[in-house]
């Protein structure tokens, strides 16, 4: 970096370039977009969970004011449209393929969850469409709803031909070796785990605006997507049969995703389909109720966990049997989330020689469940970290020291786990030590005693997590049933005047890529951040790429940018050699200048850029004009962020209210591009995990009605639920990407739920409480206390 300049490169907490437009009300979200002559569509949704549709009478509704058309499943079938598809499909343990029942974009003859799309009503205004929808007369023949995971297997088939309501029955690990570990164990720990169902709740509800141009035969779709290129591929190739070149998909500013905006949803496809069929642009925006009923939910597992310990309290085996509720239909990552993104994480940060897991993916009359911030890894971490606490208590060890005893040692990397992954690097003890120091773990008991004097129960809870992110090496993914590669793309386009556009296949919906990706450019090219623009989210402008999820954007997309920048520098050197009449090998690039080594002869980056586009004397046999380079980067391995989070809670036993009083964490995300942005990601992840642990629950009743379908009933974490969060980092650099980065987007949500529940159980353990399920609401905590005290009195 030249002297006297402000560091805008890697490692600087540069304030975000994207902030201003959001702060002055000039963001451009999908619902802000309108097209001339657009119709509004409202979806009539099923009010019942499981029924055959006997008849749909839409005659009265069609005559209502402003109505242009009403489309149903019959129209979808007549036009031969496909449904959303699965992107990654595991193999059953008997070697057979899993069940993938069809998912019609408008229900055809049968509805399978409350909220299933029955009819699409198109009208001049949204009010007219909604009013007309009320005039549609649908006769349902109801069947008993299937919502319970444990009994679903023995219930009526939700999809014809799918036995036992089971999408798949999958296993991983060495069952014989694991059984052997249990046969020889000195201690066996049994824990039943329930991972509650939650709803992602990005603050921007999903929306779509589709427009078909009869002149050039091109479709344009503006949509709330984390991966517009995948949306184009799936809708174009699998649902509506539109050539990709005739289909532009734009995900403009997107107000949060957290996984829920990965998938292609029926509404988007209906808008695109109808825009041609009706000859009018079509707009749809979900209200929050539709978001609750229609967005893919997250988590919802029941697991039986068994841990084997030897006489020295070292873990020798782990067995996990899981039922995963996937809801009524499958979406893009529904099957991989509870399998390859879950089973492979069961070793955690621990040296466990034998692991076996069986996961059954179950169909119920609920909305589909798919990846939600962390996707499988929070579920694995929760069951493992809860089990570690139960085990420590069972053998009489401090939970921190029991973890430390079982950590994979620093010198064991690369470490091959018993569940397929090979961790490249990590160092877990310093993370634990630092977090314990941050929260003054040593003096916790005095704080507990002080709280007790005030009639409160104080508890502390540790979570030492790992995640596999930077998704993902295509060869590995392919071998494990992936139907896509998971590389990422970048184009670095240097303009004649030296400004730079980076076109990326990732998408930013809060992560700050406009800034952090620009910092990589500043760092490598020595240019100011104001000269760099990051372009994402428009299939007409960006190269094909896989989008943003799985903490992949920096580790995979950022590395692609880095590699494209290397190519720009390499070409710049050849141009400089030509201009300076030197050999290519004699040119070095540093601080934004190309210099003949050992001399003061140099050309600035701007001069090289201009020359590239004004190539009056280029030797065209060895040097093409222009300065624009592309990279498609396929990662060599997953990346493995890790860390320790510690929560401290205080509980009022009279009311059951849990107050989070302190939070510390020390994470290892590898090298940091922008520490400020990383901290922000950690804060948000913690809040979502705390929400799951204390407040949030997608509650269905026995009839399959979603009881928590508004913010009046679904408790979102609010500002006054949190203390100030203390976030620190240590670094072991990733060994297999150029930037040494690992990813940070999901860590908080992965680490935090077990830290909270471990703290709650610790607080209540003096009262005899040994377990509590998420969310630990005041009612549940109070009941647990009463139950424990009743038991103690018996």
Partner 1 sequence: MQTITMKVNGVSTSCDVPDNTLLVSFLRETMGLTGTHIGCDTSQCGACVVHVNGKSTKSCTILAAQLEGAEVTTIEGIANGDELHPMQQAFHENHGLQCGFCTPGMVMSAIELVEKNKNLSEREIREGLEGNICRCTGYHNIVKSVQDAAGKMGG
**By CB under 8 A, is residue 293 in contact with partner 1?**
no
Residue 481 backbone phi and psi in degrees, to 5: 100, 5
Cβ distance to partner 1 smaller for residue 65 or 157: 65
Residue 670 backbone phi and psi in degrees, to 5: 70, -155
668-707 residues in contact with partner 1 (CB under 8 A) are 676-677, 679-680, 683-688
**Judging by beta carbons within 10 Å of its beta carbon (0-12, 13-18, 19+), is residue 519 exposed, middle or buried?**
buried
Cβ distance to partner 1 smaller for residue 77 or 203: 203
Cβ proximity of 432 and 441 under 8 Å: no
State the Cα–Cα distance between residues 351 and 353, nearest whole angstrom: 6
Cβ proximity of 756 and 771 under 8 Å: no
Among 36, 442, 719, 793, binds partner 1 (CB under 8 A): 719
446-465 residues in contact with partner 1 (CB under 8 A) are none
Cβ distance to partner 1 smaller for residue 529 or 587: 529
| Residue span binding partner 1 (CB under 8 A) among the ranges 158-166, 186-194, 197-205, 444-452 | 197-205
- In SS3 terms, 585-630 reads as HHEEEECCEEEECCCCCEEEHHHHHHHHHCCCCCCCCCCCCCCEEE
Q: Which two tokens stand for residue 629?
A: 């380079």
Cβ distance to partner 1 smaller for residue 181 or 647: 647
Give min distance, CB of 257 to partner 1, in A: 8
**By CB under 8 A, is residue 483 in contact with partner 1?**
no
**By CB under 8 A, is residue 530 in contact with partner 1?**
no
Give min distance, CB of 222 to partner 1, in A: 13
How do 298-309 and 315-325 pair as beta strands? antiparallel
Cβ proximity of 32 and 224 under 8 Å: no
C-alpha 5, offset from chain centre: 37
Q: Binding residues for partner 1, how many (CB under 8 A)?
A: 55
State the Cα–Cα distance between residues 42 and 125, nearest whole angstrom: 10
Cβ distance to partner 1 smaller for residue 117 or 507: 507
Give min distance, CB of 582 to partner 1, in A: 45
Location of structure tokens 């510390």: 664
Cβ distance to partner 1 smaller for residue 29 or 356: 29
Beta bridge partners of 725: 663
Give min distance, CB of 434 to partner 1, in A: 19
What one-character DSSP code corresponds to residue 677? H
Among 5, 21, 52, 446, binds partner 1 (CB under 8 A): 21
Site string for partner 1, 484-513 (x = CB under 8 A): -------------------------xxxx-
Give min distance, CB of 691 to partner 1, in A: 9
Give 189's contacts (C-beta < 8 A, 6+ positions apart).
305, 306, 307, 308, 309, 387, 390, 391, 394
Give min distance, CB of 510 to partner 1, in A: 3
30-49 residues in contact with partner 1 (CB under 8 A) are 31-32
Q: Which two tokens stand for residue 289?
A: 């109720």
Among 5, 7, 20, 449, binds partner 1 (CB under 8 A): 20
Among 134, 142, 287, 624, binds partner 1 (CB under 8 A): 287
**By CB under 8 A, is residue 768 in contact with partner 1?**
no
Cα first-last separation, the chain:
73
131-150 residues in contact with partner 1 (CB under 8 A) are none
227-256 residues in contact with partner 1 (CB under 8 A) are 253-256
**By CB under 8 A, is residue 225 in contact with partner 1?**
no
Could you tell me how many residues make up the chain?
794
State the Cα–Cα distance between residues 76 and 233, nearest whole angstrom: 19
Site string for partner 1, 252-281 (x = CB under 8 A): -xxxx-x-----------------------
State the Cα–Cα distance between residues 262 and 226, nearest whole angstrom: 5
| Residue span binding partner 1 (CB under 8 A) among the ranges 202-210, 271-279, 301-309, 552-560 | 202-210
102-131 residues in contact with partner 1 (CB under 8 A) are 127
State the Cα–Cα distance between residues 348 and 344, nearest whole angstrom: 9
- Rg over alpha carbons for the chain, rounded to the nearest Å, is 28
* Residues in contact with partner 1 by the rule CB under 8 A: 15-16, 18-27, 29, 31-32, 127, 201-205, 253-256, 258, 287-289, 509-512, 676-677, 679-680, 683-688, 710-712, 716-720, 722, 724-725, 748
């Amino acid at each position: 970096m030249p002297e006297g300049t402000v560091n805008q490169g890697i490692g600087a907490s540069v304030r975000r370039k994207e902030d201003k437009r959001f702060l002055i009300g000039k963001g451009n979200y999908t619902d802000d977009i309108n097209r001339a002559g657009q119709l509004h569509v409202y979806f009539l949704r099923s009010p019942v969970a499981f029924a055959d549709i006997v008849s749909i009478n839409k005659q009265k509704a069609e005559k209502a004011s402003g109505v242009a058309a009403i489309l149903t499943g019959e129209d979808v079938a007549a036009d031969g449209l496909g449904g959303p598809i699965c992107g990654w499909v595991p193999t059953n343990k008997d070697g057979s393929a899993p069940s993938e029942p069809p998912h019609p974009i408008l229900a055809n003859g049968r509805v399978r969850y409350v909220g299933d799309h029955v009819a699409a009503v198109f009208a001049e205004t949204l009010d007219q469409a909604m009013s007309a929808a009320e005039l549609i007369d649908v006769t349902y023949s109801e069947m008993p709803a299937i919502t319970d995971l444990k009994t679903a297997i023995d219930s009526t088939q939700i999809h014809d031909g799918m036995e036992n309501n089971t999408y798949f029955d999958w296993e991983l690990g060495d069952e014989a070796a694991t059984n052997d570990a249990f046969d020889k164990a000195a201690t066996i720990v049994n824990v039943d785990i329930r991972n509650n169902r939650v709803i992602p709740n990005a603050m921007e509800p999903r929306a779509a605006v589709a427009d078909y141009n009869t002149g050039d035969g091109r479709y344009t779709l503006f949509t709330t997507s984390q991966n517009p290129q995948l949306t184009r591929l799936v809708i174009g190739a699998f649902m509506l049969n539109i050539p990709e070149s005739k289909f532009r998909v734009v995900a403009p500013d997107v107000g949060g995703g957290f996984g829920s905006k990965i998938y292609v949803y029926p509404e988007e496809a209906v808008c695109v389909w109808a825009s041609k069929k009706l000859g009018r642009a079509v707009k749809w925006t979900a209200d929050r109720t539709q978001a609750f009923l229609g967005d893919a939910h997250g988590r919802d597992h029941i697991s039986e966990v068994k841990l084997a310990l030897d006489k020295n309290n070292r873990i020798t085996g782990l067995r996990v049997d899981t039922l995963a509720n996937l809801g009524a239909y499958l979406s893009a990552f529904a099957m991989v989330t509870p399998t390859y993104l879950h089973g492979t994480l069961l070793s955690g940060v621990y040296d466990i020689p034998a692991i076996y897991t069986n996961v059954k993916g179950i169909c119920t009359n609920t909305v589909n469940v798919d990846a939600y911030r962390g996707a499988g890894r929070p579920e694995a971490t929760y069951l493992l970290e809860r089990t570690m606490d139960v085990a420590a208590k069972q053998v009489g060890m401090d939970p921190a020291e029991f973890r430390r005893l079982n950590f994979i040692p620093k010198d064991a990397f690369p470490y091959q786990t018993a569940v397929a992954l090979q961790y490249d690097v990590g160092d877990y003890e310093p993370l634990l030590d630092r977090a314990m120091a941050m929260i003054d773990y040593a003096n916790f008991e005095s704080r507990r005693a002080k709280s007790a004097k005030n009639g409160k129960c104080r508890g502390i809870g540790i979570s030492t997590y790992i995640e596999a992110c930077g998704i993902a090496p295509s060869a590995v993914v392919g071998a494990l049933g992936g139907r896509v590669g998971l590389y990422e793309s970048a184009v670095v386009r240097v303009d004649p005047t030296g400004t730079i556009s980076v076109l990326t296949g990732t998408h930013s919906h809060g992560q700050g890529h406009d800034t952090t990706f620009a910092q990589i450019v500043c760092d490598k090219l020595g240019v100011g951040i104001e000269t760099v623009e990051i372009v994402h989210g428009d299939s007409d402008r960006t190269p094909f790429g896989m989008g943003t999820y799985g903490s992949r954007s920096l580790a995979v997309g950022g590395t692609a940018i880095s590699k494209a920048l290397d190519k720009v520098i390499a070409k710049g050197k050849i141009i400089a050699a030509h201009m300076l009449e030197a050999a290519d090998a004699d040119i070095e690039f540093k601080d934004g200048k190309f210099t003949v080594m050992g001399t003061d002869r140099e050309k600035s980056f701007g001069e090289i850029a201009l020359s590239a586009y004004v190539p009056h004397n280029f030797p065209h046999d060895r040097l093409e004009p222009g300065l624009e380079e592309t990279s498609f980067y396929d990662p060599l391995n997953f990346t493995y962020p890790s860390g320790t989070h510690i929560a401290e809670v205080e509980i009022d036993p009279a009311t059951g209210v849990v107050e989070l009083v302190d939070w510390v964490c020390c994470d290892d995300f590898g090298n940091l591009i922008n520490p400020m942005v990383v901290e922000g990601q950690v804060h948000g992840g913690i809040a979502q995990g705390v929400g799951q642990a204390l407040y949030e629950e997608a509650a269905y009743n026995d009839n399959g009605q979603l009881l928590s379908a508004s913010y009046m009933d679904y408790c979102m974490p609010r500002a006054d639920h949190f203390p100030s969060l203390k976030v620190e980092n240590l670094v072991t650099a990733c060994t297999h990407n150029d930037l040494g980065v690992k990813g940070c987007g999901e860590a908080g949500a992965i680490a935090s739920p077990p830290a909270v529940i471990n703290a709650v159980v610790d607080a209540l353990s003096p009262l005899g409480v040994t377990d509590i399920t998420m969310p630990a609401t005041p009612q549940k905590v109070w009941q647990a206390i009463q139950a424990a005290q009743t038991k103690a009195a018996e």
